[in-house]
């Protein structure tokens, strides 16, 4: 296992994917280098994947949105002859720690949700052209697209063989998308998910597993036709020029990661990290053209990329850091000016992309299984988009007045229009609507205060923070909270937070991260799958797994 898993890459460094462009259609070609696995101990045969493959995929999906506004349809296909994708690599899974397996599944789920978000949010549609076998995670990748074509050649199949083959579940949304997105009838779904060899041609269409099954001779024409139809539904801009997602600025030391606008400080003994976010150093650009000119340096985009990277780094590389403390530094009015700029220009493709990216980054925070706390102190800029971070936290503490020896004005929290719908959570509600599920009038009260500098007393009365504390109590109360949190069981906190963070309606996304993921995590702990005689360990050995037949 590498000392540090890095989520930053770029097409020139891809080992597993190729991008090709032709007008408004891009091809995203999976062609996994079997010798370029992220860890030792397995080969990525048959276009199977590990986290390294998925990091490149996530990068490609992101660049397609920002660097290629002209692309209306992305055709996902395989670069191999007889296989589309064999799914997550089994030996990698069998050799991984429980923590890695769970984090791997979470990231791959976020990437597939991101493909659907590109389609729904940015009109960049995905089409999946399957020749050969699309098994397990391979078919789940297809399920994340808008339209699935399957070669009707007697051998191409779609399959979810996880249960019969490995005694685990399809871990990347497969079960949920089969029933809730494609609305496969439950008995067909049951038959499908217990059929190791998968389903071909006409039956795959009848069972709604794919949209079209097309003979080899007509396949490419059908792909082109389907791409044209999807392109017609797209509202991607014509003639816009993409911006380059240049490498992020980052210095990594043992206990500090410093980005241009994000600083992560790790207190290893206390098992916590402080994420400090720096507000903008100046006003927003004068026009959308000037914003596009700034490109990846434009503060909201730069910050989102840095924050996203920091969260992923902490998830995968710092599993023992149980509490993330969010702080901000800067001028609230400046943050607000950027919010107003983005909101005023949300019809512009780049502003739209940035808003969607912030939405996804905030969801990434919601889905991070660490305790999240915001400390709102003098000098902070929890305003608009940055206030959303406080609303994503399990607790938020706000200082009343100042601390001894600190002459800065007391902290204020400021709301912007973007707090009221621009960044829905997985449950499709804004964080404030989720927060005030029991008192919807409180959302309107908060809305009436958009733009006002809300002091601690105001925030307390509006219900925007968990607690306000004066200078006498601040240090002790915060310390006690942090120490207590660190004393609890990591697993118990993970389960509790997964339940408390998502009140209200459920969506396919919350079903995937709540129901499906939780069951998969349970199964990943059970001897039938993960034990020495379990199916994951015995796969490929020629010896059958030994199952405890007891039903739980």
Binders in 493-512 for its own copies, by CB under 8 A: 493-501, 503-506, 510-511
Instruction: Tell me which stretch binds its own copies (CB under 8 A): 213-221, 275-283, 381-389, 522-530.
Output: 522-530
Site for its own copies in 19-78 (CB under 8 A): none
Nearest-5° angle of CA 431, CA 437, CA 440?
A: 100
Q: Does 162 help bind its own copies (rule: CB under 8 A)?
A: yes
Q: Does 439 help bind its own copies (rule: CB under 8 A)?
A: yes
Q: What's the closest the beta carbon of residue 188 comes to its own copies, in angstroms? A: 7
Site for its own copies in 353-412 (CB under 8 A): 369-370, 393-396
Q: Does 455 help bind its own copies (rule: CB under 8 A)?
A: no
Site for its own copies in 95-114 (CB under 8 A): 98-99, 102-103
What are residue 326's phi and psi, to 5 degrees? -100, 130
Site for its own copies in 249-278 (CB under 8 A): 271
Q: Does 175 help bind its own copies (rule: CB under 8 A)?
A: yes
Residue 530 makes CB contacts below 8 A (sequence gap 6+) with 98, 524, 536, 537
CB-wise, 91 or 485, nearer to its own copies? Answer: 485
Q: What's the closest the beta carbon of residue 513 comes to its own copies, in angstroms? A: 9
Among 130, 163, 459, 462, binds its own copies (CB under 8 A): 163
Q: What's the closest the beta carbon of residue 422 comes to its own copies, in angstroms? A: 20
Q: Residue 388: helix, strand or coil by DSSP?
A: helix
Q: Does 139 help bind its own copies (rule: CB under 8 A)?
A: no
Among 436, 468, 469, 509, binds its own copies (CB under 8 A): 436
Q: Does 437 help bind its own copies (rule: CB under 8 A)?
A: yes
Q: What is the CA radius of gyration of the chain?
A: 24
- Dihedral, CA atoms, 46, 47, 50, 55, nearest 10 degrees? 170
Q: Does 529 help bind its own copies (rule: CB under 8 A)?
A: yes
Distance of alpha carbon 549 from alpha carbon 527, whole angstroms: 11
Residue 543 makes CB contacts below 8 A (sequence gap 6+) with none
Q: What's the closest the beta carbon of residue 293 comes to its own copies, in angstroms? A: 41
Q: At what angle do helices 349-366 and 385-392 cross, to 10 degrees?
A: 20
Q: Does 539 help bind its own copies (rule: CB under 8 A)?
A: no
Contact 430, 387 (CB under 8 A): no
Instruction: Tell me which stretch binds its own copies (CB under 8 A): 144-152, 295-303, 404-412, 520-528.
Output: 520-528
Instruction: Tell me which stretch binds its own copies (CB under 8 A): 76-84, 231-239, 342-350, 521-529.
Output: 521-529
Site for its own copies in 193-252 (CB under 8 A): 193-194, 208
Among 140, 520, 537, 538, binds its own copies (CB under 8 A): 520
Site for its own copies in 321-340 (CB under 8 A): 321-322
Instruction: Tell me which stretch binds its own copies (CB under 8 A): 111-119, 190-198, 223-231, 350-358.
Output: 190-198
Q: Does 172 help bind its own copies (rule: CB under 8 A)?
A: no
Site for its own copies in 461-480 (CB under 8 A): 463, 466
Q: What's the closest the beta carbon of residue 419 comes to its own copies, in angstroms? A: 16
Q: What's the closest the beta carbon of residue 102 comes to its own copies, in angstroms? A: 5
Contact 45, 96 (CB under 8 A): no
Distance of alpha carbon 83 from alpha carbon 139, whole angstroms: 11
The DSSP-derived string for 17-81 is EEEEEETTEEEEEE---TT--SSSS---GGGEE-HHHHHHHHHHHHHHHHT-TT--EEEEEESSS
- Dihedral, CA atoms, 16, 246, 235, 422, nearest 10 degrees? 110
The DSSP-derived string for 151-175 is E-SSS-EEE--HHHHHSS---SSHH
How many residues line the site for its own copies (CB under 8 A)? Answer: 91
Distance of alpha carbon 419 from alpha carbon 223, whole angstroms: 41
Compute how many other C-beta atoms are within 10 angstroms of the C-beta atom of residue 349. Answer: 21
């Amino acid at each position: 296992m590498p000392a540090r898993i890095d989520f930053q890459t770029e097409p020139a460094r891809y080992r597993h994917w190729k991008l090709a462009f032709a007008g408004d259609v891009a091809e995203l070609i999976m062609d996994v280098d079997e010798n370029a696995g992220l860890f030792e101990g397995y080969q990525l045969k048959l276009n199977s994947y590990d986290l390294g493959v998925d990091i490149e995929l996530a990068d490609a999906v992101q660049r397609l949105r920002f660097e290629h506004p002209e692309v209306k349809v992305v055709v996902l296909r395989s670069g191999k002859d007889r296989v589309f994708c064999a799914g997550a690599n089994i030996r990698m899974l069998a050799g991984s720690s429980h923590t890695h397996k769970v984090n791997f599944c979470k990231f791959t789920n976020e990437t597939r949700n991101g493909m659907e978000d590109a389609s729904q949010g940015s009109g960049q549609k995905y089409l999946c052209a399957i020749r050969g076998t699309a098994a397990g995670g391979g078919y789940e990748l297809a399920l994340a697209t808008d339209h699935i074509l399957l070669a009707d050649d007697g051998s191409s199949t779609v399959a979810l063989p996880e249960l019969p083959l490995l005694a685990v579940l399809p871990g990347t949304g497969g079960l949920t998308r089969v029933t809730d997105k494609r609305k496969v009838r439950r008995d067909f779904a049951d038959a499908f998910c217990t059929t190791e060899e998968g389903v071909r041609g006409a039956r795959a269409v009848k069972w709604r597993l794919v949209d079209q099954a097309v003979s080899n001779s007509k396949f490419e024409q059908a792909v082109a036709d389907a791409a044209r139809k999807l392109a017609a539904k797209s509202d991607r801009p014509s003639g816009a020029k993409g911006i380059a997602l240049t490498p992020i600025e980052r210095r990594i030391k043992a206990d500090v990661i410093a980005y241009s606008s994000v600083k992560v400080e790790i207190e290893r003994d206390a098992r916590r990290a402080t994420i400090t976010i720096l507000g903008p150093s100046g006003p927003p650009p004068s026009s959308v053209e000037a914003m596009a000119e700034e490109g990846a340096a434009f503060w909201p985009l730069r910050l989102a990329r840095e924050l996203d990277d920091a969260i992923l780094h902490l998830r995968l590389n710092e599993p023992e850091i149980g509490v993330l403390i969010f702080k901000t530094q800067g001028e609230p009015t400046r943050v607000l000016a950027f919010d107003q700029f983005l909101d005023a220009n949300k019809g512009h493709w780049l502003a739209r992309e940035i808003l969607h990216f912030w939405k996804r980054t905030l969801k990434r925070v919601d889905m991070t299984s660490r305790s999240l706390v915001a400390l709102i102190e003098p000098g902070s800029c929890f305003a608009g988009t940055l206030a959303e971070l406080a609303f994503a936290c399990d607790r938020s503490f706000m200082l009343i007045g100042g601390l001894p020896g600190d002459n800065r004005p007391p902290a204020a929290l400021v709301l912007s229009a973007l707090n009221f719908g621009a960044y829905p959570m997985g449950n499709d509600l804004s964080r404030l609507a989720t927060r005030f599920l029991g008192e919807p009038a409180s959302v309107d009260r908060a809305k009436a205060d958009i733009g006002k500098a809300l002091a601690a007393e105001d925030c307390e009365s509006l219900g925007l923070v968990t607690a306000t504390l004066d200078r006498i109590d601040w240090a002790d109360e915060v310390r006690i909270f942090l120490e207590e949190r660190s004393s609890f069981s990591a697993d118990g906190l993970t389960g509790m937070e997964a339940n408390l963070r998502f009140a209200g309606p459920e969506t396919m996304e919350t079903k995937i991260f709540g129901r499906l993921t939780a069951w998969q995590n349970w199964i990943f702990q059970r001897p039938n799958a993960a034990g020495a005689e379990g199916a994951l360990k015995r796969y490929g050995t020629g010896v059958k797994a030994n199952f405890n037949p007891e039903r739980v």
